[in-house]
Structure 1
Amino acid sequence: MTASENQTHEGPPDLIVERARLAPGTNTGTGTGTVVAELVDVVVRDGRIVTLGPGVGAGVAARERIVADGGLITAPFTEPHSHPDKALSRRSIGPQGLPSPLTDRPSLMQRQRDLKATFTREEVADRAGAFLRLAAAQGVGTVAGQTDIDTVTGLTSFEGVMDAREAHADLLDLRVTAFPQEGLVQDPGAYDLVAAALAAGADRVGGWPNNERSPEDQLTHLDQVFELAERFGVGIDINIDYFTDPTERLLLPLAERTLAHGMRGLVNANHVGALETYAEDDARKVIEKVAEAGITVTVCPTNLSGSRPYRGVSRAADLLAAGVTVAAGTGNLQDNWEPFGNLDPLDTARLAWHAVPLSDEDDQGVETAWRLVTDHAARAAGVPFGTLRPGEPADFVVLAATSLTHALRNEPGPRWSIRGGRIVASCRGEIWTAPIPEGVR
């Protein structure tokens, strides 16, 4: 397409990205994994990609322009596991007079109950909105967020998160999981509250069956999660076998129920730390069943720290080798459980490279680490991974990094988030390293 064809009577394009490098795994319409060695321009008008290819934006005036200089362009990142209702609530622990510091799990659980009992719809919406704006600035296009629903917070947290979702729909998509943090059996009333949230627009049903008091109640919890999923026609986003505790054995029942209910590919399991403790033969059998059920597994690299027993990162490498889709997520962010976090998927990918670990893979596992926060994360969130081709919505991210290795190093530099053809968020930083000579990785 020539410059004159690009600049029609409709006026100049809304946006041109100049000299970008398609990230490995980018789908350009000719198959995922397409590699285009040349740098490409992307021309955008009316919220859609008009054309994409080497030099197609040269000499064309545009309302906005990004000069990528060889930086990567990719479909937006996905945050596959987070808690936007709790995010940034750590600042309230002191003012509420809650005990600190704490290290044991029961005390931390009680402090969380006490904290969320003070939440208001407006305050949750404010914090969740800040969380979503931060995610968008980091290049995240979809957030999968669990929201506590129980007899402590009622629907307050859910309603606040839904308000934030509506207010920030121009920045990103938020898929809300109705999450019965306190249980379904031991917290009478939670089942009806979760049902109400699903009726009001929650995207998936969550659960934490290990938190029930007896093995029988744990299985009942699982059954009720599947009952709610079928009743409302939604997928499942469940926390299961949370700790590195060999007595936690609910992943196999989850896989069996997934198959029995015909929900293959509709279930995401978070954490799955206990799998680390299984004997090799037991682990292999469970992993085979998880693969058969099409369950995605989301791990949080930050789970290597914190309370005891620590939560772990499951057998992520073994799951990947068996064909299971594994994603990496943030989990908690500046709340009762985690004082840190910045929602940057590149930091998550780098931490996962160490934690999984991926250093023994071909090309040192960098591409696998990247996939944990791109197409794998999208599948775990239950959404398609974006496509960059003419006619498709202009939703993508442009990085300063010119390779996946440089991206995971996360050297300071500009980053642009484009949604519907508009630059909706960006972050910038000065390069703190000396220029890298050509040809040096």
Structure 2
Amino acid sequence: MALLEEALQQGADLLGGCPYTDSLPEKQIDTLFELASRYDVNLDFHLDFDLDSRNMLLPYVIKITEKYNYQQRVTVGHVTKLSTLPQDELMVIAEKMALAGVHLTALPSTDLFLMGREFDHNIPRGIAPLMSLVKAGVNCSISSNNIENPFTPYGDCSQVRQANLYANVAQLATKKELEQCLKWVSSDSAKLMRLVDYGLNVNMPADAVFFPVDNRAEIVATIQSPSLGIKNGKVTFTRSDALMYPP
């Protein structure tokens, strides 16, 4: 705790924890909330990362979020236990998450690679059911946990690719569903990060990425690469489509 406090005193602006690896997981959650509240920083937890629906820590995080009035400032990642719940039980906890303002991030590359290794058939996907959570009012996002390490041994850092992967796993295919997948790696992620100046509007930073598509759903459906990026109004990169030559 002393080292965490020293980091906060030196300017760290976010606290993270991994309670399921702690012998006293609830104590870790309590400690991090106390520090976060004292130094006014947001919280991120890697949470409930297995396929056993027992002993979920998410209800405790929701409870302590409400205790500290930390709505919209807490994010939980993975939470693969949610994928094991029947729909009625899932919606009960989803509604509690929404009321407490607890966000959730799914990490499809890591979750798919690690979950279900104890099975030799009917292997479960083991990824948090974002669409059901969103219907209950939970703000969600998709991201990548690591790149080229033992937990996620491959990848290229493309969040569009992660959105496409999630769409495949969750069997999302309509235009509206694919647009939601894109929101999970863009505008909904911005809400999670409390970015008040996100978007294309007057007096906002001129930060944008452009894709050569007819609609947002196509970006996810085709894993489209961006053709132009700007930062603070300045072009930072351009990309031309590869030329196709006859054999």
Give the letter for the 2:131 counterpart.
A
Taking structure 2 as the reference length, what is the TM-score of the superposition?
A: 0.87
1:364 Cα offset (Å)? 5.1
Q: For 2:226 and 2:95, locate their aligned partners in 1 and report how far apart those are by CA, in whole Å.
A: 42
Q: Specify the alignment match of 1:220 in structure 2.
A: 27
| Number of positions where the alignment pairs a residue of Structure 1 with one of Structure 2 | 239
Instruction: Trace 1:64-213 onto structure 2 (pairs within 5 A).
Output: 191-213=1-23
Q: Specify the alignment match of 1:351 in structure 2.
A: 165
CA shift digits 1:71-105 (9 cap, x unpaired): xxxxxxxxxxxxxxxxxxxxxxxxxxxxxxxxxxx
Q: For 2:19 and 2:7, locate their aligned partners in 1 and report how far apart those are by CA, in whole Å.
A: 19
1:309 Cα offset (Å)? 4.1
* Alignment partner of 1:315 is 2:125: no
Instruction: Determine helix, strand or coil for the equivalent of 2:28.
Output: helix
* Alignment partner of 1:408 is 2:220: yes
1:392 Cα offset (Å)? 2.8
Give the letter for the 1:324 counterpart.
V
CA shift digits 1:139-169 (9 cap, x unpaired): xxxxxxxxxxxxxxxxxxxxxxxxxxxxxxx
Q: Specify the alignment match of 2:67 in structure 1.
A: 260
> Contact (CA 8 Å) 1:414, 1:428: kept in 2 or not?
no
Q: For 1:199 and 1:312, locate their aligned partners in 2 and report how far apart those are by CA, in whole Å.
A: 38
1:387 Cα offset (Å)? 2.9
Q: Specify the alignment match of 2:185 in structure 1.
A: 373
1:245 Cα offset (Å)? 2.1
Instruction: Determine helix, strand or coil for the equivalent of 1:242.
Output: coil
* Alignment partner of 1:292 is 2:99: yes
Q: Specify the alignment match of 1:243 in structure 2.
A: 50
Q: For 2:60 and 2:140, locate their aligned partners in 1 and report how far apart those are by CA, in whole Å.
A: 19
> Contact (CA 8 Å) 2:182, 2:217: kept in 1 or not?
no
Q: Pick which of 291-300 and 271-280 moved more.
A: 271-280
Cα pair distance change 1:411/1:276, threshold 3 Å: closer
Q: For 1:379 and 1:413, locate their aligned partners in 2 and report how far apart those are by CA, in whole Å.
A: 24
Q: For 1:275 and 1:413, locate their aligned partners in 2 and report how far apart those are by CA, in whole Å.
A: 32
1:327 Cα offset (Å)? 0.5
Give the letter for the 1:373 counterpart.
V
Cα pair distance change 1:414/1:381, threshold 3 Å: closer
Instruction: Determine helix, strand or coil for the equivalent of 1:306.
Output: helix
> Contact (CA 8 Å) 1:296, 1:379: kept in 2 or not?
no
Instruction: Trace 1:7-86 onto structure 2 (pairs within 5 A).
Output: none
1:315 Cα offset (Å)? 2.3
Give the letter for the 2:194 counterpart.
G
Q: Specify the alignment match of 2:80 in structure 1.
A: 273
Instruction: Determine helix, strand or coil for the equivalent of 2:75.
Output: strand
Structure that is richer in strand per residue: 1
Instruction: Determine helix, strand or coil for the equivalent of 1:245.
Output: coil
1:259 Cα offset (Å)? 0.8
Q: For 1:243 and 1:385, locate their aligned partners in 2 and report how far apart those are by CA, in whole Å.
A: 36
Once the two structures are aligned, what percentage of the paired residues are identical? 24
Structure that is richer in helix per residue: 2
Q: Pick which of 301-310 and 268-277 moved more.
A: 301-310
> Contact (CA 8 Å) 1:375, 1:385: kept in 2 or not?
no
Q: For 2:15 and 2:221, locate their aligned partners in 1 and report how far apart those are by CA, in whole Å.
A: 36
Q: For 1:275 and 1:412, locate their aligned partners in 2 and report how far apart those are by CA, in whole Å.
A: 30
CA shift digits 1:381-439 (9 cap, x unpaired): 23236232333321111222232233124466652221111112344441669xxxxxx
Q: Specify the alignment match of 2:121 in structure 1.
A: none
Q: For 2:228 and 2:192, locate their aligned partners in 1 and report how far apart those are by CA, in whole Å.
A: 24
Name the structure, 1 or 2, with higher relative contact order (CA <8 Å, separation 6+): 1
In structure 1, runs of 5+ residues without a counterpart are: 1-190, 434-441
In structure 2, runs of 5+ residues without a counterpart are: 118-124
Aligned CA-pair RMSD: 2.4
